[in-house]
Structure 1
């Protein structure tokens, strides 16, 4: 029994020694936290004592604050400046000794003082960020700053740490970009305006020539050409009138296109009603122009052939986009219908030839139904910009 007690006794002594070391470590840690110890002397592996200065442990952070490219400031909750680095002094153009003890309000432009008051209140509990204009003391100029506020406790004293970033260069760059965008928008608007005017000149020349033509079949060909040119001119007109110079609002465009066709064929407007169902579809110019030409050809074909004599009817126009970005254009009439043996992909009629060509240009799929009139359905996707040579 006595032999077994010796190991137990050694183990108890070792546990007691560990407890003493743990207690000493706890006292040491408490002293460090209470700032009662300036330095620790610890024996190294080589037997040489090493000195670790507790109060000097924050030196790298102080050096970092002094070397950083942004202004660093410590405030009390009232906005008094307790500390600032050299960079903040340079930004405000005032020596550090004259800044410390001042209130940040003194350097904020009058109209932004409510912003600072709000920022100080919010940053007592959480990080806060805002843009405020500060006034330099030396030059008296206003400088835009991004101010990031962070609440902290230093020796149980609540303070707010502030990082100030000069936004002057960023604002200048933004202004240059904004001015360049305005210039490009103006140029683009002028391009659309001139293209529309040039197409309108062509339309007017064809109109004058049409008046002089005696053969009604030839005159009809001129009318068809005028309508095609007008459909393209309308795209540029809508872009010119829009705030968005890259996308066409297809609802207003199709309404204008339909009105133009009815005007050119004024005899049909009294007998044929138009049923428009256009969802909020915006298309780029590469898609809007062939789509507009398609609508022009199919509408003109319906007005011309679907309602002979005094027959009355309805023409439906629908354009929608589904969840997969597939566009669906439908033009249907309740007229006499087209012959069963007529293939739009293989016909001598220029209008229907254009329908096939334009559908191919849109990488679309054309379907025709001949029940209760004629229904053309074209499914396609918006075209990506194709680089011109």
Structure 2
């Protein structure tokens, strides 16, 4: 994967070196200089998120300043506006948020004279810079203005809650606001979504749970990368490689938090190496975070020289939390290497930072939180006012309609009086009927409870009978000397266990009609691993079936299909070593349509698979079970390992 990342990076750099007229240019900065119009320069600048790959942000800033000075000398107001916007964004990228805000606020004074695209760029810069400066009340004002200008429909709050340390609340709002906007087939968006959920959990010190979310993100990212049916642009390839590097670093940080240093160190080192290849200023914070966590891991493994190397990272423009972390690690390094004088220096620095934090930042954050809640209450109040206005309009219409029907009401009153006697009679009769209905309902409810108990007992007994069959097969295995017969009996026992597990899940559920497949698949894999005691325990298995439920008619074929596929992977896919083995299981059902996919990165199927299909018990059984689901099995042998998939209804 490391070689693949470098190859993609080199291809993209080479593509960036060729201009449209065929001439070779040095990088994006020189391509930018070749553009004549300031407006086109502006669009090119903001459309190049990886503009610092070849030239640094300082090089860009020097170039923009030259253009800005020339435009100011000839009083070209349109060009001045474009270059100041780029200048503000560059200061933001360099971490000088005060200067970025000062330039942007100067432009904001003439906001109504700007064009729609320029307004949107300006408000985005102010939004980001205010957030970095922790001026959340002013950030929310900018977001309200973005909504008023039509650049966004709703004001989001989850990132502000995260910035003030309320990560659980931020995660709830993020899931509520973002998840409904992503379709089930948008694998890359789902990968970024679960990476962000993992970030919230990691920052809330829930590292173990965060790893699960990051693993989900890795699964969706792999699906996106393996999807050769969709042509990907240069930008999309870069973004997928960047997200992969970030995910490795995030998982590595979680392992360090859990004191699992052997697992975390290689992931962090690989992430740092890949992120460094991008040469992008925007990834600096991620690089610093990874370096500090890697230094912490080496310190705890007493590899002090390696730790010192990663503690030399610049962290002065990061948050106070990371500056505190760096000082704490340096103090620990000097303490452990018996340089107590330097250790005391860093302990004192941390104490001064904490005092400053307690005196200033704590009160500021409280004020920002009050402003946030107040803004949110104002938004809710405005929405309630609008709803109340609509309700008042409806009430007026209803009153007018009632006035028009008043004559009909008087006429109907006469008929109502005549029918009153009949209603009294009907009411008395209905009371008697309701009593009979209540008695019958009680009888039916008791019958249903008894039926559920009987069904659970039936499933329990079926499970016990299947376990007895499995035990008989085990006894037969012990009395059989033929290796082929033993293997056949073990396979039969595994299939019986797969069916028994279905009935076990049913009688354990409150709902006897469906089975929750995520838990069932996990239990099934544990069962298969118990059969193959010498293999399969080092394979990384990713199961993506959360929230999917199937009835027993579909669950049993799926259980037997998975039993065959996992057994085959354990037996044949990794003949030499399963240290780097991976299995990915994906099961989704949306309404009447469903999709199943199974992949492993083993040695793959032999070339004569199609010829063996007629003689192989496993392949024939899988094909029949897929046919039972009214579908057709697809097999992909072109990539590394093997991939099975089919749709079902």
- Cα deviation for residue 317 of structure 1 reads 1.2
Q: Which has the higher contact order (CA 8 A, sep 6+)?
A: 1
Give the number of aligned pairs: 239
Instruction: Give the CA deviation at 1:243.
Output: 0.5
Q: 1:59 to 1:199 in 2, by over 3 A?
A: same
After superposition, the C-alpha distances for 1:135-175 in whole angstroms (9 at most, x for unaligned) are: xxxxxxxxxx8xxxxxxxxxxxxxxxxxxx97323322321
Aligned partner of residue 328 in structure 1, secondary structure:
strand
| Alignment of 1:237 onto 2:504 | yes
* Aligned CA distance change for structure 1 residues 372 and 69 (closer, same or farther; 3 Å): farther
The 3-state SS of whatever aligns with 1:338 is coil
- Partner of 2:644 in structure 1? 376
Residues 110-189 of structure 1: pairs in structure 2 closer than 5 A: 167-189=434-456
Moved more, 228-237 or 305-314: 305-314
Q: Find the counterpart in structure 1 of residue 562 from structure 2.
A: 295
Matched residue, 1:342: 609
Deviation at 1:337, TM superposition (A): 0.4
Equivalent residue for 1:64, pick from 419, 443, 446: 419
Which residue in the other structure is 1:281 paired with? 548
Q: What is the Cα deviation at residue 339 of structure 1?
A: 1.5
Q: 1:59 Cα shift?
A: 6.8
Q: Structure 1 358/69 Cα, relative in aligned 2: closer, same or farther at 3 Å? A: farther
- CA drift of 1:227 comes to 0.4
With over 3 angstroms needed to count, the CA separation of the structure-2 counterparts of 1:261 and 1:363, relative to structure 1, is same
| Structure of larger gyration radius | 1
Label 1:201 to 1:56 Cα distance change in 2 as closer, same or farther (>3 A).
closer
RMSD: 2.7
| Residues 337 and 70 of structure 1: CA distance in aligned 2, closer, same or farther (over 3 Å) | farther
Per-residue CA shift, 1:64-89, capped at 9, x if unaligned?
212225677xxxxxxxxxxxxxx4xx
Counting only pairs closer than 5 Å after superposition, residues 346-357 of structure 1 correspond to structure 2 as 346-357=613-624
Matches within 5 A, 1:166-315: 167-312=434-579, 313-315=581-583
Structure 1 residue 345 displacement after superposition: 8.5
Task: Identify if the C-alpha distance between structure 1 residues 343 and 64 changes in structure 2 by more than 3 Å, giving closer, same or farther.
Answer: same
Structure 1 runs not aligned, ≥5 long = 1-32, 34-54, 73-86, 92-144, 146-164, 382-389
Which TM-score applies when normalising by structure 1? 0.57
The answer to whether structure 1 residue 319 and structure 2 residue 584 are counterparts is no
CA contact (8 A) 1:330 1:377 kept: yes
* SS state at 2:575 partner: coil
Out of 598, 612, 617, the residue aligned to residue 331 of structure 1 is 598
CA–CA distance in structure 1, aligned partners of residues 608 and 543 of structure 2:
29
Q: Could you give the per-residue CA deviations for residues 266-303 of structure 1, whole angstroms, max 9, x where no partner exists?
A: 11133322111113111111111111111111111111
Counterparts in 2 of 1:260 and 1:62: CA distance versus 1, 3 Å: same
Off by >6 Å, runs of 4+ in structure 1: 55-59
Cα distance in 1, alignment partners of residues 414 and 583 from structure 2? 82
